């Protein structure tokens, strides 16, 4: 029942809005033009505030996290892991098999 009532009420309001839009077309454009300027102004201020906040956050993050000297790509990381494991195998002596005589 509530969904039906919502649809009916929405339709009535849409029809009333269309009638007022047609009858007050000149005033609508005046208000619309006024809203566009205000919206752009406050949207620009919001973008400016977000940009400044992001710059400050990135500066704080860079100061809090120490820079590392490890390779930055996974391929470099994999090649350095392989080279270190092969050098470990060369460095450790292999056990010789015991033979019974």
pLDDT-derived band at 56, boundaries 50, 70, 90: very high
Check pLDDT > 90 for residue 55. yes
Domain ranges within the chain, ordered by starting residue: 26-65
| 0.95 surpassed by pTM | no
Check pLDDT > 80 for residue 58. yes
pLDDT at 80: 55
Please list, in sequence order, all residues whose beta carbon lies within 8 angstroms of the beta carbon of residue 28, skipping any fewer than 6 positions away.
Answer: 21
Q: Give the dihedral sign, CA 41/42/45/51.
A: negative
Tokens of 3: 């969904």
pLDDT-derived band at 3, boundaries 50, 70, 90: confident
pLDDT-derived band at 100, boundaries 50, 70, 90: low
Q: pLDDT, tens digit, for every residue of 7-54?
A: 999 999 999 999 988 888 888 889 888 999 999 999 999 999 999 999
Closest to 19 (Cα-Cα) out of 8, 28, 31: 28
Tokens of 75: 């391929």
Rounded (10°) CA dihedral 10, 16, 19, 25: -90
């Amino acid at each position: 029942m509530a969904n039906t009532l919502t649809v009916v009420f929405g339709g009535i309001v849409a029809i009333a809005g269309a009638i007022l839009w047609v009858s007050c077309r000149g005033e609508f454009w005046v208000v619309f033009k006024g809203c566009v300027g205000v919206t752009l102004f406050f949207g620009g201020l919001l973008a400016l505030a977000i940009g400044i906040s992001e710059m400050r956050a990135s500066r704080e993050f860079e100061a809090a996290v120490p820079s590392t000297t490890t390779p930055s790509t996974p391929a470099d990381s994999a090649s350095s892991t392989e080279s270190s494991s092969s050098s470990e195998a060369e460095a450790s002596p292999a056990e010789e098999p015991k033979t019974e005589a």
